[in-house]
């Protein structure tokens, strides 16, 4: 923005003689010309980032809705399932795919955001026998997240608090179904924003425990994950 102000002032200065009836054209020595060029270069270095990178006014307004997709892995094993070829798979308390919608608000000169998102987190494992029967295990929950990030260029550092509502484990293999109490935890994440796309990619660590409503057994649901988000 500063370079446009300098150019405007320069043009006004050139027009001043004609406005006051003078025809002389002001001259500038090499030193003045070099100084003007340096000013424009400095201006590009100082402010070009803000208008062409992650803080671009054209790309980021104060409040934006977004979509996010996460893949999580970790936590204690809730149950194993064995396939006919001998392979064993399992449902883990921290694993799953998380699909969510949310809204984020940028403030403090677009260096800090706060927001909320909610969605559906699920994990599903299926084994099929030769007779056509299937063994299916699933673990589902409905997270609600409140978060905040600090923006350093295209890099975001932050995290938030999360509530996982209605966690339910279902198994057709052993009919060992279980419901868990609403769980509360926290997470930290790093995001990298791609210029001009509204997209970001990052890594996440979630810390949370699930308590079985019937047995009071606590299962660790902590997990690492990869997260992707897209601004609308």
Q: Give me the pLDDT at residue 212, please.
A: 94
Asked if the model's pLDDT at residue 176 lies above 90, the reply is no
Question: What global pTM score does this model have?
Answer: 0.72
Q: Which domains, ranges and CATH numbers included, belong to the chain?
A: 2-52 (no CATH), 63-231 (2.40.160.20)
111-134 tens-digit pLDDT:
899 999 999 999 998 877 666 667
Rounded average pLDDT over 90-99: 94
Torsion of CA 21, 25, 26, 32, to 10 degrees: 150
What average pLDDT does this structure show over 18-44?
46
Matching residue, tokens 């868990």: 180
Q: Whose structure tokens read 């299926």?
A: 126
Which position has the token pair 């063994």? 135
Reduced to 3 states, what is the DSSP secondary structure of residue 185? strand
Q: Which two tokens stand for residue 96?
A: 């799953």
* pLDDT for position 72: 98
Percent of the chain, pLDDT > 90?
53
């Amino acid at each position: 923005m500063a370079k446009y102000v300098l150019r405007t002032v320069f043009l006004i200065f050139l027009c001043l003689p004609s406005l006051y009836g003078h025809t002389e054209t002001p001259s500038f020595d090499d030193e003045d010309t070099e100084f003007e060029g340096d000013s424009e270069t400095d201006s590009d270095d100082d402010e070009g980032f803000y208008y062409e990178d992650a803080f671009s006014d054209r790309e980021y307004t104060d409040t934006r809705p977004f979509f996010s997709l996460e893949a999580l892995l970790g936590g204690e094993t809730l149950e194993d399932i064995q396939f006919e070829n001998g392979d064993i798979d399992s449902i883990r308390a921290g694993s799953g795919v998380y699909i969510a919608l949310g809204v984020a608000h940028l403030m403090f000169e677009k260096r800090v955001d706060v927001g909320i998102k909610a969605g559906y987190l699920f994990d599903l494992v299926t084994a099929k026998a030769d007779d056509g029967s299937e063994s299916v295990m699933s673990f589902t929950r409905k997270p609600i997240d409140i978060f905040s990030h600090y923006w350093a260029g295209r890099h975001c550092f932050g995290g938030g608090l999360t509530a996982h509502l209605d966690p339910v484990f279902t198994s057709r293999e052993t009919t060992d179904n279980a419901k868990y109490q609403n769980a509360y935890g926290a997470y930290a994440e790093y995001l990298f924003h791609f210029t001009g796309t509204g997209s970001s990619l990052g890594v996440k660590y979630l810390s949370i425990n699930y308590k079985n409503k019937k047995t009071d057994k606590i299962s660790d649901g902590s997990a690492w994950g990869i997260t992707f988000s897209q601004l609308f």
